[in-house]
Amino acid sequence: EVQLVESGGDLVQPGGSLRLSCTASGFTFVEYSMYWVRQLPGKGLEWVSGISWHSDYAGYADSVKGRFIISRDTAKNSLYLQMSSLRAEDTAFYYCVKDIRPYYYAPDGVFEVWGLGTMVTVSS
């Protein structure tokens, strides 16, 4: 069974940093592009970042560009999101997501398997 388990969410002050992790299992992690998608409680979805299966390509939403860095560790079957200069508007539930097809990234990424998410709260 494909599983994605996020961790690292916390309460952090504005301007602070946080690192989210996502541990993947049940599929060949190295073959799939991965993404982070966030959702404010009771609100809509926002794509945050994505990274290709071979880590050669990474993309970011304009709202986080220059502040967030996505990375992956194939040996640990893990996806990461390093978040810095956090703002109140970054407060959200962060989902780790797997693409539906191996060896695809853009423009035909499909968000197939979602983790349960981890909550990030930015507040003083």
Partner 1 sequence: SALTQPASVSGSPGQSITISCTGTTSDVGAYNFVSWYQQHPGKAPKVIVYDVNNRPSGVSNRFSGSKSGITASLTISGLQAEDEADYYCASYTRSSNYVFGTGTKVTVL
Interface with partner 1, residue 27, by CB under 8 A: no
Taking the C-alpha atoms of residue 58 and residue 73, their distance in angstroms, rounded to an integer, is 14
Interface with partner 1, residue 16, by CB under 8 A: no
Residues of span 93-112 touching partner 1 by CB under 8 A: 95, 100, 106-112
Residue 12 or 113 with smaller CB distance to partner 1: 113
Mask: binding to partner 1, 41-70, rule CB under 8 A, as x and -?
Answer: ---xxxx--x--------xxxx--------
Residue 13 or 103 with smaller CB distance to partner 1: 103
Secondary structure (DSSP) of 19-50: EEEEEEESS-GGGS-EEEEEE-TTS-EEEEEE
CA dihedral 3, 4, 5, 6 (to 10 degrees): -170
The window from 8-16, 19-27, 39-47, 79-87 that contacts partner 1 (CB under 8 A) reads 39-47
Q: How far is the CB of 13 from partner 1 (least distance, A)?
A: 28
Residue 6 or 72 with smaller CB distance to partner 1: 6
